[in-house]
Amino acid sequence: MHKDIATPIRTKDILNKYGFSFKKSLGQNFLIDPNILRNITEYANLTKESGVIEIGPGIGALTEHLARSSGKVVAFEIDQRLMPILKDTLSPYDNVKIVNEDILKADVKKIINEEFSHIDKLMVVANLPYYVTTPIILKLITEALPIQGIVVMLQKEVAERISAKPGTKHYGSLSIAIQYYMTAEVVMIVPKTVFMPQPNVDSAVIRLMKRPKPKVDVVDEKFFFEVTRASFAQRRKTLINNLTSQLLEGKAKKAEIIEVLHSLNIDPTRRGETLSLEEFASLCNALYPIIK
């Protein structure tokens, strides 16, 4: 067994060897606690038949744990300066491929077809760069990629928003967008002390598993997300105020929107955060013929 990359001493040695300095703009915070990396890997339930996509491998601390537990790892790293380091630190593992690309610009579907053609179960496991967490997760979920689940470390607050239940302060359009496709649970809270450099906030690991089909039936997904975004546009405003100000022709059709809400037993003066996914689906389906 090779020595873990993720110890404070080994991490410092690697960074010194290559004269690497952290780029704040890339949200680089490297994990220096092997136990946490083992836990993250375990939450993904990997086997030698599993494939893994990683985003932002850094110096390979999590990557090596994923390589030990799975059949193949493809890691996307945007920072060109890390390529020689990863080549060195991950040299013991022949089942890892590093792609020097921005995951948000990459054709992930094409890479999956090329790299994981022989693999049935595909997971995304990563310590995500905090400044792009939400766009990355939304891209992975909405591009209809053949992935079973996502286990990622992210800001604790974002994890709480993703997994939030109706009627709580963290519940919003992001909770709905993700829970529509996936089940969501926070599996671990991680203190800032296990990172180098230390971030300003605590982190959490969230596990998202794809539902066999979306949680609710809607006539038009795009419109469903428009309605949910509109409902949370200004959190303090009532549902009817948000819908009329945000939806196309909302003001002109205010009376019809109120009628729809009453027909669904939804009080127009409720706030968006009190509606369940099921209520939003009914609302979307009833508004669709009127607004579209």
Kindly list the domain boundaries of the chain, sorted by start residue: 8-210, 221-291
| Distance separating alpha carbons of residues 93 and 4, to the nearest angstrom | 13
Binding-site members for S-adenosyl-L-methionine are: 29, 31, 56, 77, 102, 127
pLDDT value at residue 1 = 58
Q: With beta carbons less than 8 A apart as the criterion, state whether 8 and 196 touch.
A: yes
Q: What is the pLDDT of residue 69?
A: 97
- Distance of alpha carbon 147 from its chain centroid, rounded? 13
Q: Do the first three CATH levels of 8-210 and 221-291 match, i.e. the same topology? A: no
Q: What is the pLDDT of residues 123-182, one digit of tens each?
A: 999 999 888 899 999 999 989 899 999 999 999 999 999 999 999 999 999 999 999 999
- Strands 149-155, 72-76: pairing is unpaired
DSSP state of 251: T
Q: Number of helices and strands (H, E) in the chain? A: 12, 9
At residue 227, the pLDDT reads 95
**What pLDDT score was predicted for residue 8?**
87
List, for the chain, all residue ranges whose pLDDT scores fall below the cut of 70: 1-2, 24-27, 292
Name residue, tokens 């996914």. 277
Topology of 8-210 in CATH? Answer: Rossmann fold (3.40.50)
Residues annotated in a binding site: 29, 31, 56, 77, 102, 127
**Cβ neighbour number for residue 105 with a 10 Å cutoff:** 10
On whether the CB atoms of residues 283 and 264 are closer than 8 A, the answer is yes
| Topology (CATH level 3) of domain 221-291 | Helicase, Ruva Protein; domain 3 (1.10.8)
